[in-house]
């Protein structure tokens, strides 16, 4: 499928879809499943073959029927409500935008969103997403294959601050934190505190404590929420753009939309400076005559 044309109209649709997503996600309290949808669409990326990634392919029956995607049809159907209002937007952009809004609505950091991903109906084979029952080397295999790092693994695991596991979906049960609708660093705090009544720790969560590099980040994020938010925003953006090269025109359009008080003042100062210089030269010339 062709790259979408990211013109002013497309950007306007993205803004409207963003607002609709806020209302939808807030009213249905479905931020966790929307975040999982975004992550599972993107997380199939293979940096060597350049296949998979955030391209909307998760909406194919073949892919949403993968075991690791159990339950995600709900999120796909929610997004379909938004897609029917804004058909121009690609599914790839829509799912990533939903992930960004899910984090925002639950009190998480603002994640920079650049539109322009193209859609694909080609689904990768099952098995590219992490298996919750495994450990450190499996996590590294999976995430390095995407082109992500150890820091990304830990920061992104912090997404478990939201939501819960369901027995009928993954076989596991329960939330990771006391407030599964609030995005904060409590996932890391709970991880370091050990077993806790009613709270879940997957084998892959506990694995973060087994590796010294991972553990270093867990300890940092447990004590410094700002550091977690900062690193999470970077890692989430990376994940949401795997295999996607924002075109220079869409990038500059997005930046150009940023009309801040400062840019306007800057223009004013330049104009004033130009007037001052010109009148000075005029003055000098007059005196020379």
Could you list the active site residues? 40
Q: Does 14 bind other proteins (CB under 8 A)?
A: no
212 CB contacts (<8 Å, ≥6 apart)? none
> Can you tell me which of 1, 5, 23, 122 binds other proteins, judged by CB under 8 A?
23
Task: Return the structure tokens found at 231.
Answer: 């690193």
Identity of the residue, 1 or 270, whose beta carbon is nearer to other proteins in the bound complex: 270
Site for other proteins in 57-76 (CB under 8 A): none
Site for other proteins in 102-161 (CB under 8 A): 104-109
Binding segment (CB under 8 A) for other proteins, from list 137-145, 152-160, 216-224, 262-270: 262-270
Burial class of residue 277, CB neighbours in 10 A (0-12, 13-18, 19+): exposed
Report yes or no: 211 and 151 within 8 Å, Cβ to Cβ.
no
Angle between helix axes 136-146 and 150-157 (nearest 10 degrees) is 110
Site for other proteins in 158-217 (CB under 8 A): 181-183
DSSP string of 107-166, one letter each residue: T---------PPP--PPPPTT-SPPTT--HHHHHHHHHHHT--HHHHHHHHGGGGS-EE-
Q: Does 27 bind other proteins (CB under 8 A)?
A: yes
Q: Does 237 bind other proteins (CB under 8 A)?
A: no
Q: Does 223 bind other proteins (CB under 8 A)?
A: no
Q: What is the H or E stretch that residue 265 is in?
A: helix 261-288
Binding segment (CB under 8 A) for other proteins, from list 45-53, 87-95, 150-158, 257-265: 257-265
> Can you tell me which of 49, 87, 195, 255 binds other proteins, judged by CB under 8 A?
255
137 CB contacts (<8 Å, ≥6 apart)? none
Which residues of this protein are in contact with other proteins, per CB under 8 A? 19-20, 22-27, 29, 31, 104-109, 181-183, 255-256, 258, 260-263, 265-267, 269-270, 272-273, 276-277, 280, 284
């Amino acid at each position: 499928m062709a790259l979408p044309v990211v013109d002013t109209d497309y950007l306007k649709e993205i803004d409207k879809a963003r607002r609709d997503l806020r209302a939808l996600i807030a009213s249905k309290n479905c931020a966790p499943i929307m975040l999982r949808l975004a992550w599972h669409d993107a997380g199939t990326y293979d940096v060597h073959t350049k296949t998979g990634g955030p391209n909307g392919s998760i909406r194919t029956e073949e892919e949403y029927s993968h075991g690791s995607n159990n339950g995600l049809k709900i999120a796909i159907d929610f997004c379909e409500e938004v897609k029917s209002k804004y058909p121009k937007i690609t599914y790839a952009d829509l799912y990533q935008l939903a992930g960004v809004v899910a984090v925002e609505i639950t009190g998480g950091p603002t994640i920079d969103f650049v539109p322009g991903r193209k859609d694909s109906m080609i689904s990768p084979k099952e098995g590219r997403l992490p298996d919750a029952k495994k450990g450190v080397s499996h996590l590294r295999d999976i995430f390095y294959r995407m082109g992500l790092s150890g820091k990304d693994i830990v920061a992104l695991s912090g997404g478990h601050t939201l939501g819960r596991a369901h027995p009928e979906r993954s076989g596991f049960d329960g939330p990771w934190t006391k407030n599964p609708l609030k995005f904060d660093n409590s996932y890391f705090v709970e991880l370091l505190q050990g077993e806790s009544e009613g709270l879940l720790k997957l084998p892959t969560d506990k694995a973060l404590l087994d590796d010294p590099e991972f553990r270093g980040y867990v300890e940092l994020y447990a004590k410094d929420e700002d550091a977690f938010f900062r690193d999470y925003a970077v890692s989430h953006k990376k994940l949401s753009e795997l295999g996607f090269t924002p075109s220079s025109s869409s990038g500059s359009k997005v930046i150009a939309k940023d009309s801040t008080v400062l840019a306007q003042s800057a223009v004013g100062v330049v104009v004033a400076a130009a007037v001052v210089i010109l009148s000075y030269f005029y003055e000098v010339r007059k005196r020379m005559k």
